[in-house]
Structure formats: C-alpha cells, structure tokens
Amino acid sequence: MAFPERFSNLPEYAFPRLRALLDHHQPGGVPVSMSIGEPRHELPPFLADVLNAHLDGFARYPSNDGIAPLLEAIQGWVARRYRVELAQDRLMVLNGTREGLFNAALALCPERKAGCVPVILTPNPFYQVYAVAALAVGAQPVYVPATEETGYLPRYSDLAPELLDRVAIAYVCSPGNPQGAVADAAYWREMIALAERHDFRIFADECYSEIYRDTPPPGVLEIAQEMGADPERVLSFHSLSKRSNLPGLRSGFVAGGPECIRRIRQLRAYAGAPLPDTLQHVAAAVWADEAHVNRSRALYQQKYALADRIFAGVPGYKGPEAGFFLWLKVEDGEHAALKLWRETGIRVLPGAYLARDDGQGNPGKGFIRVAMVTPIDELEDALRRLRNSLYR
C-alpha cells in the first residue's frame, strides 16, 4: 500500500520529541512546565455568563462564515487597534489560527509561479505549520534565518531576485515565536514593497500582538493601508489564545482582500470545521473587551522585568520585545533541556525542535525556548533554578 512522499521528511513534532527526550528520566524536582505556550492567566470574568446565555447554539450546525456579532466585534477591534475599517467580506472566522495559516495556503497558493514550482518562504526558527502547509500544496519551502544577526526577523530582501520571482507566499511572525522580535513599520513597508515587486502574498502571523513591553507592535494591515497596497497582497492572522488566555476556545480570524477571503471561505465550506455558534458568541464578547487584556498584559510586563533581573549578567541574554517566550542561549538545546529536567524538574523546549537545518546548521540548536506562562511566584522560583542550573 502506497503512502504520500510529501510528508516523509517531516521530523517528529516538537512535543512528542520532547517527551521522547525527557520522559524516561526522573525529574530533579517538582515538575514545572515551561515548554508549551499555554497561557495560565485569569480567564475573562464574563465567560460563563455568555456561554450559558447561548447554550442552544450547540443544537445547530455552526455558521461557516461567522455569526454577525462575532464579525462585528472583530471589525470593531481591528478599527480600535489598527485604525483600519474592514468590510465583512474581508474577514474570515477561524477555528484557531493554526487552521487558518494552513488552509489559507491550500486556498491561495498557485500550482506554478514564474513557470516553476512555487516557493513558500518561512523564517527559521518558525511555527511548524508553515512548513507543513508548504509541503501540502507541493511548494518548495525555503527556510530563511531569523537569527541575532538579522534582528531575529527574516531578511527576505536578501534573497536572489530569481528566487523571489518564484515566491507565492511569505510567512512572517510578529511578535516572533520563539524569539519575541517585533517587525516595526519600516520592516513591514520593505516587506510589502518586496511582495508587490515580486508578486507574492504576505501571511502575517500576529497572534502575540497584544503581549508587549511598552509600545503596541505595528500591524501589517495598518501599514498596508498607509501605503495604499493591494488588499489581496496581505493576510493578517489573529487569535484569542494568547491575547485572552483562551487556547482551548480555538477562536481566531484572518483578514485580507475580498477575493482571498472568498477563496478561503469556499474551501472551508467543503472541508472546514467552523467554531460552534455558542463559542462564536463567547468570542464576540471577548474581542469586544479590553479590560482583561490589559490586566493580563500587566502581568507579562512584570514577568519581563523579573526575567531581566534574574538573567542580568548572563552572556548573550536578550529579553523579548513582545510575546511570552525567553529565547535563551546555551551550548546545545537538547543537552540543556535534559540537564534542566534531571536537575530541577523544569521542562523547556530545545530550540532545534522549532527550526530546520538550512545547509549552515540548525539556527535553533544553541537555544532553549522558555514559556513564561506560570503564575509569577512560581515563575520567579523556576527562573532562578534555571539560571543556577545552566548559567553557574
């Protein structure tokens, strides 16, 4: 019996790899999970009331395109956050942004570009769905370093023009997972101009946009509007998982040009799994409220300050600009993660599991990713133990 070749070279996903690395060793202390980006801050306080008010929605098939209250709440949030007014035909409700980042590639990547197999660009390290989306559509994934030398953002403009002419889609994550770097307005302007020059689309993964130190990260939608760019050129993906501490709700959205959204909706109608209407009502209430977001952000800002104090003096330490991950330099990420687990019970993710060998080595190999999602008193103890274990 034959199996497809296109996924044959995929490594084991990051978290099964981590279990294989750690789970046959005893933890050296009470286990603390800092490997997965699962927020554990307070949930929005009104959640149960909204859920209970709309329980009858579970008795109906969900709306594929999104219920009107949810689309209106998203429109309102985008207008407040980015000063961009979007018609509803420029929005698509998602069952989590991972679904959107994958399915948008299925819906929008052409079979050929410049007479060749299309290229999909991804930063390296990166969120793993970018790579599997490229393989699923038969495109060539090209991994572009996002390292300290590049400001932890990919410099797609450094690529050869003949390669850029083959690009169909370029993924950009800002704020970045795992490094916490922010694409500023100048970066987005250069990126949009590059996409217009070489005729490709930008998939902007902006799921961490509401977790930052001081200044809200600029968004691709506002910069594209300022430039008068073609609305079909840019798609922006957002989620309630990080903004509102609701990863289990599986609610996000994509904003783009009307033709892009029409094609994504068409694919969803055949093969998608829309969010139940009950949960869409919950999501509408959550997008409309900023108070819980402000409280959560203030906690993350305390965590930034705590990490900066604890790792002061550690060679190469650089606190994140945004997001909730520390991207810490070590000699070898797997060795460091195993040492940390065996000595302290702290569970972190080797950076190599989030990257690919690009011919010059794996750019994540000398790092670990540490998710600052635990309560702050637990976090302080864990970070001190981490420093004492790895940076004595």
Helices (H), the chain: 14-22, 47-53, 68-82, 97-108, 129-136, 161-164, 185-198, 220-227, 240-243, 258-271, 277-287, 291-310, 333-344, 376-390
Mean pLDDT of the chain: 96
Q: At what angle are helices 376-390 and 291-310 packed, to 10 degrees?
A: 30
> Which band of pLDDT confidence, cut at 50, 70 and 90, is reported for residue 325?
very high
Local structure of residue 174 (DSSP, 8 states): S
**DSSP-derived secondary structure for 190-215:** HHHHHHHHHT-EEEEE-TTTT-BSSS
> Which band of pLDDT confidence, cut at 50, 70 and 90, is reported for residue 293?
very high
Nearest alpha carbon to residue 354 among 129, 24, 100:
129
Amino acid at 177: N
d(CA 132, CA 141): 9
d(CA 209, CA 146): 18
Does 390 have pLDDT greater than 90?
yes
Local structure of residue 320 (DSSP, 8 states): -
pLDDT of 5: 85
Topology of 48-289 in CATH?
Aspartate Aminotransferase; domain 2 (3.40.640)
Domain with CATH 3.40.640.10 in the chain: 48-289
Q: For the residues 249-261, what does the mean pLDDT come to?
A: 97
Percent of the chain with pLDDT over 70: 100
pLDDT in tens, 118-147: 999 999 999 999 999 999 999 999 999 999
| pTM, to two decimals | 0.97
pLDDT of 19: 97
Q: Can you read off the two tokens belonging to residue 286?
A: 């959550």
First to last CA, the chain: 54
Q: Are 123 and 176 in contact (CB under 8 A)?
A: yes
Does 177 have pLDDT greater than 90?
yes
pLDDT in tens, 183-197: 999 999 999 999 999
Helix %, strand %, coil % for the chain, to 5? 45, 15, 40
CA distances 306 to 66, 254, 302, 382, Å, are 40, 34, 6, 11
Q: For the residues 41-53, what does the mean pLDDT come to?
A: 96
Does 275 have pLDDT greater than 90?
yes
Q: Are 70 and 280 in contact (CB under 8 A)?
A: yes
d(CA 143, CA 129): 13
> Which band of pLDDT confidence, cut at 50, 70 and 90, is reported for residue 273?
confident
Q: Are 185 and 218 in contact (CB under 8 A)?
A: yes
- Phi-psi map region of 290: left, alpha, beta (phi>0 left; psi -120 to 50 alpha): alpha
Q: Which residues contact 313 (CB under 8 A, 6 or more apart)?
A: none
Helices (H), 23-154: 47-53, 68-82, 97-108, 129-136
Q: What CATH architecture applies to the domain 14-42+292-390? A: Alpha-Beta Complex (3.90)
Does 302 have pLDDT greater than 90?
yes
Does 272 have pLDDT greater than 90?
no
pLDDT in tens, 340-369: 999 999 999 999 999 999 888 999 999 999
Does 2 have pLDDT greater than 90?
no
Does 9 have pLDDT greater than 90?
no
Amino acid at 182: V
**Omega before 216 within 30 of 0, i.e. cis:** no
Q: For the residues 234-245, what does the mean pLDDT come to?
A: 97
* Burial class (CB within 10 angstroms; exposed 0-12, middle 13-18, buried 19+) of 181: buried
Nearest alpha carbon to residue 86 among 236, 256, 235, 234:
256
d(CA 26, CA 298): 35
User: Going by DSSP bridges, is the β-strand pair 234-239/252-255 parallel, antiparallel, or unpaired?
Assistant: antiparallel
> Which band of pLDDT confidence, cut at 50, 70 and 90, is reported for residue 33?
very high
